[in-house]
């Protein structure tokens, strides 16, 4: 993924079209730059296997546009496109040596059809070419990541629907705080993952813009059609169903307008890696909760998402979730690495960018896999209702409900807080509350509140049911959250499906255009 100036027409210089012993050296670089010990250090050919298919598609779209614009003869375009098809069949492993996949593919085309193959690089640079290839491949990877966020949200919604009345302890600072439900816990993560989905969709929109035609960074003298190559490659900006309600026929191709910006900017990589890192952080919190819950007997993880000890036969360890938790550190490291690489680069192209893309590839792979594993672990876990119910009231977790009850009956909340705190030191039952009332308020508890209401407030089930404010844990409040979650999930599933279909339609349309020449 390296730099090269755009070829501005005329036959290739003789030194750049001859091959050197069949290894392709000298096809793009002059002899002066074709050897030496730094060649392997400069080469990204092995790493470029990831964008091999993308590069072939970008080549096809560019050659088609050159033919349509009359820049390259139709028969030459046909020969180049036929050679590209053959190279695809042979695969990345058959490419000749080169600094990168772009040079290697061009070399392979020239080896097949002769010097005329060099016309495929007319009016472009490897700078805009690689930027297009990265965007082409990354958008597919982001769609895969998005699919796993939807699977996780679906699993969380299913858990919530099945456990709307399953009482469990809620914690702050890992201390028993207030009783909630498993549904309320699941909805809390569904909301976070939903925002992760939104961030990835927004990042996709900025990935899905075409830099092709920016050339090295200063455009080209040729009469190219940048919108045409963007159309052929399906670069349509925002995800399909988010395109301001427009139909597929109405949506138009989107290019990165400024040629310098098009060839040299990698902010889309940074934004995507940041969005993935944020999702990894959400996954880490979810994994941590499940590890703790498994330790306390609240949940049984499926064997598929657990392991045992090599020496202790009784062990069942939440290993997969521990690895999910660790991915957040890797992703955060990639954000830092990518930011540091990009922060001091001047315009336009710098070779540092060859090292930048790896951070995005590593992150999207790791986070997508972690998200898929987390979804599976959530979907297959069994919640232990009896254990959860027994623990829900531990640590006088209903204390806040009692204080709220006293405040609702006219006592200043801070005074009620002090009184209940006294009762907590003595067990937190009705007797302790009554004693605290006599000590703090000078009167028995029943002077301020109905004893039956106090008993209800002390009951974890009744305590949860009373917390029916918007977003609260009461079953009725959770039902509203679930309705919103299902609606948002359905909308995002539709967006993902339509966006994937749009990419496939662009691929098929490009293939049809190519078939008209080969």
Mean pLDDT, all residues of the chain: 89
Residue 64, CA atoms < 13 Å, CB-side half-sphere? 25
What is the arithmetic mean of pLDDT over 103-108?
91
- Whether 195 shows a pLDDT value over 60: the answer reads yes
pLDDT band of 242, cuts 50, 70, 90? low
Residue among 173, 247, 310, 469 flagged as catalytic: 173
Q: For every residue of 413-453, which 3-state class applies, written as one string?
A: HHHHHHHHHHHHCCCCCHHHHHHHHHHHCCCCHHHCCCHHH
| % of the chain residues with pLDDT over 90 | 68
Active site residue 173: yes
Residue 507: its pLDDT value, please?
96
What is the arithmetic mean of pLDDT over 155-184?
95
Residue among 15, 94, 309, 447 flagged as catalytic: 309
The one-character DSSP state at 352 is: T
pLDDT band of 95, cuts 50, 70, 90? confident
Opening angle at CA 157, ends 153 and 160, nearest 5: 140
Q: pLDDT by residue (tens digit) across 346-372? A: 998 888 898 899 999 999 999 999 999
Distance CA 205, CA 236 (A): 8
The one-character DSSP state at 2 is: -
- DSSP for 201-217 reads HHHHHHHSSB-TT-TTT
Distance CA 255, CA 276 (A): 24
Please provide the distance, in angstroms rounded to a whole number, between the alpha carbons at the two ends of the chain. 28
Active site residue 309: yes
Is the separation of the CB atoms in 235 and 54 below 8 Å? no
- Return all residues near 328 (Cβ < 8 A) that are at least 6 apart: 277, 280, 281, 283, 284
Residue 93: its pLDDT value, please?
82
Better-predicted residue by pLDDT, 110 or 18: 110
Ordered domains of the chain (ranges, CATH): 14-123 (1.10.275.10), 129-390+485-508 (1.20.200.10), 399-458 (no CATH)
Q: pLDDT by residue (tens digit) across 462-516? A: 999 999 999 999 999 999 999 999 999 999 999 999 999 999 999 999 999 999 9
The one-character DSSP state at 7 is: B
What are the CA-CA distances from residue 338 to residues 55, 233, 349, 374, 408 (Å)?
23, 27, 16, 26, 54
- Whether 309 shows a pLDDT value over 70: the answer reads no
Question: Which residue, 140, 161, 150, 201, is CA-closest to 372?
Answer: 150
Any alpha helices (H) in 22-100, and if so which ranges? 39-42, 52-68, 74-90
Residue 44: its pLDDT value, please?
64
Q: pLDDT by residue (tens digit) across 393-426? A: 898 888 888 899 999 999 999 998 998 898 888 8
Residue 308: its pLDDT value, please?
72
Better-predicted residue by pLDDT, 251 or 232: 232
Q: pLDDT by residue (tens digit) across 127-151? A: 999 999 999 999 999 999 999 999 9
Is the separation of the CB atoms in 330 and 362 below 8 Å? yes
Mapped onto helix, strand or coil, the DSSP state of residue 360 is helix
Q: Which helix (H) or strand (E) holds 512?
A: helix 475-515
Opening angle at CA 192, ends 190 and 194, nearest 5: 65
- Least confident segment among 107-111, 174-178, 238-242: 238-242
- Least confident segment among 160-164, 248-252, 332-336: 248-252
- Whether 269 shows a pLDDT value over 60: the answer reads yes
Give the distance between the most distant pair of CA atoms in the chain. Answer: 104
Better-predicted residue by pLDDT, 192 or 303: 192
- Return all residues near 471 (Cβ < 8 A) that are at least 6 apart: 477, 481
- Whether 460 shows a pLDDT value over 60: the answer reads yes
């Amino acid at each position: 993924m390296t730099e090269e100036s755009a070829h501005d027409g005329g036959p290739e210089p003789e030194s750049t079209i001859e091959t050197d012993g069949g290894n392709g050296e000298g096809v793009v670089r002059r002899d002066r730059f074709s050897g030496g010990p730094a060649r392997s250090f400069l080469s990204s050919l092995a790493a470029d296997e990831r964008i091999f298919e993308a590069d072939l598609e970008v080549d096809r779209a560019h050659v088609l546009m050159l033919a349509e614009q009359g820049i390259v003869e139709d028969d030459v375009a046909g020969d180049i496109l036929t050679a590209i098809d053959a190279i695809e069949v042979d695969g990345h492993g058959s490419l000749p040596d080169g600094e990168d996949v772009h040079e290697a593919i061009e070399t392979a085309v020239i080896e097949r059809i002769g010097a005329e193959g060099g016309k495929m690089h007319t009016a472009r640079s490897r700078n805009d070419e690689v930027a297009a290839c990265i965007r082409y491949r990354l958008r597919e990877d982001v769609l895969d990541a998005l699919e796993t966020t939807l699977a996780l949200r679906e699993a969380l919604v299913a858990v919530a629907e099945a456990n709307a009345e399953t009482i469990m302890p809620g914690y702050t600072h890992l201390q028993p705080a207030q009783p909630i439900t498993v549904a309320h816990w699941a909805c809390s993560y569904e909301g976070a993952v939903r925002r992760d989905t939104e961030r990835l969709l927004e990042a996709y929109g900025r990935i899905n813009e075409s830099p092709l035609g920016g050339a090295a960074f200063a455009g080209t003298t040729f009469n190219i059609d940048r919108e045409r190559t963007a159309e052929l490659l399906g670069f349509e900006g925002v995800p399909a169903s988010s395109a301001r309600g427009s139909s597929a026929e109405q949506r138009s191709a989107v290019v990165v307008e400024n040629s310098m910006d098009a060839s040299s900017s990698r902010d889309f990589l940074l934004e995507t890696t940041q969005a993935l890192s944020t999702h990894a952080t959400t996954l880490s919190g979810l994994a941590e909760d499940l590890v703790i819950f498994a330790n306390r007997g609240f949940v049984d993880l499926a064997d598929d998402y657990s392991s045992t000890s090599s020496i202790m036969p009784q062990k069942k360890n939440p290993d997969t979730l521990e690895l999910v938790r660790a991915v957040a550190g890797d992703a955060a490291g990639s954000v830092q690495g990518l930011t540091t690489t990009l922060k001091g680069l001047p315009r336009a192209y710098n070779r540092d960018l060859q090292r930048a893309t790896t951070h995005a590839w590593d992150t999207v792979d790791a986070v997508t896999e972690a998200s898929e594993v987390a979804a599976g672990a959530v979907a297959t876990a069994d919640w232990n209702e009896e254990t959860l119910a027994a623990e829900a009231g531990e640590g006088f977790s209903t204390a806040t409900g009692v204080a709220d009850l006293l405040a609702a009956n006219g006592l200043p909340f801070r005074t009620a807080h002090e009184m209940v705190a006294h009762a907590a030191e003595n067990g937190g039952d009705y007797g302790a509350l009554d004693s605290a009332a006599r000590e703090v308020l000078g009167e028995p508890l029943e002077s301020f509140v109905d004893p039956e209401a106090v008993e209800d407030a002390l009951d974890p089930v009744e305590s949860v049911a009373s917390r029916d404010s918007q977003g609260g844990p009461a079953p009725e409040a959770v039902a509203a959250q679930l309705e919103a979650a299902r609606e948002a999930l359905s909308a995002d599933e539709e967006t993902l499906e339509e966006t994937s279909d749009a990419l496939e339609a662009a691929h098929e349309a490009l293939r049809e255009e190519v078939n008209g020449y080969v």
